[in-house]
Amino acid sequence: MAEKVRTRILFRSKRLNIYLVRYPQGHKVVPHIDMIAKGRLYKLNCVLAKPKAGGEFICEKNIFNLFGRVYLFRPDLHQHRVSKIERGNRWLLSFALTSGQ
């Protein structure tokens, strides 16, 4: 049986959530848009550890991409995904900020 994605909530409030996520080998994130009830959603994702092969983040439009390690984007507006992790694990520190509620 394949390993599951493990998500640890580090902080949670009305406007800001912080997660530490481990994506195991064999996992992929299919193309999607994050739905929110109202307001705007911003995500700042910091890739702490890249897998040895695969696991590339792909987004229609980033606000910025710093060295393929730090991404700021609007997941509520732009489709995004992660390619299949062929070898190793992908560790992500994710900050989700909701504004305009």
Residue 80, domain CATH: 2.60.120.620
Whether residue 34 lies inside any domain: the answer is: yes
Whether residue 15 lies inside any domain: the answer is: yes
pLDDT score for 1: 52
> Which residue range is the domain that position 73 belongs to?
6-99
pLDDT score for 74: 98
The Cα 26–Cα 36 span in angstroms is 28
Whether residue 1 lies inside any domain: the answer is: no
Mean pLDDT by runs of 10 across the 101 residues of the chain is: 88 96 96 94 98 96 95 98 97 95 62
pLDDT score for 19: 98
pLDDT score for 18: 98
CA dihedral sign of residues 17, 38, 58, 44: negative
Whether residue 55 lies inside any domain: the answer is: yes
Total domains in the fold of the chain: 1
Contact present, 88 and 34 (Cβ < 8 Å): no
Q: pTM for this one?
A: 0.91
The Cα 79–Cα 34 span in angstroms is 8
